[in-house]
Amino acid sequence: MPFIQNALALIVTLGILVTIHEFGHFWVARRCGVKVLRFSVGFGRPIWKRIGATGTEYVIAAIPLGGYVKMLDEREGPVDEDELEQSFNRKPVQQRIAIAAAGPLANFLFAILVYWVVFVVGVQAVKPLTGQIAEDSVAAESGVTPELTIVGVDGNATSDWTEVNLQLIDRLGDSGSIRLATLDEDGTAREFNLPITNWLSGQRDPNPMQALGISPWRPAITPRIETVVEGGRAEQAGLAAGDLITGVNGVEVQTWDALVEFIQASPEKPLDIEYRRLDSAETIQATLVPESRAVNGASQGFIGASVDVPEWPADKLMEISYGPVEALWESVVKTGDMAAMILTSLKKLVVGAISPDNLGGPITIAKAAGQSAGFGSEAFISFLAHLSIMLGVLNLLPVPVLDGGHLLYYFAELVRGKPLPESIQMAGIRLGMMLLGGVMLLAIFNDFARL
């Protein structure tokens, strides 16, 4: 069932983003008088197509991993003399620049629209309040304590955990220190400098907060099981929904976090547990052997059980909303910040400050899309906005075969007064295809490695 949900989420996600991107090219091309032969969402064999009033063929193809807009162009085939003025290659270079840039621009405008709607409607967020601080961690040694509200990272204001994490992600691979601005419960401002060196540069799927030794505050969760996975280690040990774990290896357990620590530290090691059935005072003893799974190169224990999470206290939540005009500005700023963060991450990836293991392909996108869809429409459209920005940024990279590569050629033509030699353009395209193909293969390899 999760596979089907993830696959459908991937198709919907890519379908929406590709349609938006290609519509940008299509709309501007039409305004510039270019004849569009085909507007395709997906590659390969068409599963649906229709001819529009202007002769454009609209297609949905079988492989939902991209799309394209095919325009009339003398370089791709003979063009009737009465249609030469509608040919893409006959248009002024300024118009060709506009057509190439329109796809990424459409992605950015879509993200701004999504964020605007979210900000106007309002979104509930969790206050960035510190919880448990790990012993001997960077945070503990710097003096960070529980129940501090993080109001800034490196001088950038943060109102919720999403903003805190984005600011921390921006520091991956860096050396120096991270400045945390906080407020005590009584409103007293405090600042901490957390030293870092090549921070998390070699890790796959790094967790910045965990690396600093900071756990976000959350309500204490009683170790009472809500569901068990069929055939999982919890079910094999006799556990069922409603059971309350009271002890592990003779140690009293009062919270779910304490139980998780025992489990994660004991892959394939027997644990003597004590628990009580729902509405029963009788203590039952059993042996539980957590399953071993690889997480960031290390083995962790899993038992296939979930817990009933209590509601968050109202004073630990906040409502983020703006008026229509202010929301528009905040949406533009957020889109710009996200684009800048993606560019910074790409730069660090190229210079080796971030591990290439963090590249993800269609499987990673599918899982993320499925998870965000499971959290509700708000989370899903926010995920769409983030992915749309990423698509826009990646397509603007000056790599031939991408929109940015075409723009590079057109700007060179603008400066020279004539197009680059055909041999140089073709060599660039071949190089771009090799580079893009290599990155895609690495991303797909990482996908299967994560599985």
Which residues form the catalytic set? Answer: 22
Q: Report d(CA 451, CA 419) in Å as an integer.
A: 46
Residue 159 CB contacts under 8 Å (≥ 6 apart), including other chains: 125, 128, 151, 318, 320
Q: Report d(CA 163, CA 150) in Å as an integer.
A: 10
Helix or strand holding residue 31 (H, E): helix 2-31
Closest of 276, 275, 304, 277 to residue 289, by C-alpha: 304
Q: Report d(CA 34, CA 28) in Å as an integer.
A: 9
Closest of 11, 60, 3, 69 to residue 36, by C-alpha: 69
Q: Which amino acid is at 87?
A: S
> Can you tell me which residue has the tokens 């921390």?
168
Residue 299 CB contacts under 8 Å (≥ 6 apart), including other chains: 267, 292, 293
Closest of 411, 402, 407 to residue 429, by C-alpha: 402
DSSP string, 112-174: HHHHHHHHHH-EEEE--BEEEE-TTSHHHHTT--SS-EEEEETTEE--SHHHHHHHHHTTTT-
Region for 290 from its dihedrals, namely left if φ exceeds 0, alpha if ψ lies in -120 to 50, beta otherwise: beta
Q: 335, 328 in Cβ contact below 8 A? A: no
Q: Which 3 state secondary structure label does DSSP give 354?
A: coil
Q: Distance of alpha carbon 124 from its chain centroid, rounded?
A: 20
Closest of 445, 437, 433, 436 to residue 358, by C-alpha: 445
Q: Which 3 state secondary structure label does DSSP give 278?
A: coil
Q: Structure tokens of 324?
A: 């229509």
Q: 103, 191 in Cβ contact below 8 A? A: no
**CA Rg value for the chain:** 26
Sign of the Cα pseudo-torsion (35, 40, 45, 50, in order): negative
Helix or strand holding residue 194 (H, E): strand 189-196
Closest of 423, 434, 428, 375 to residue 400, by C-alpha: 428
Q: Structure tokens of 294?
A: 């690889």
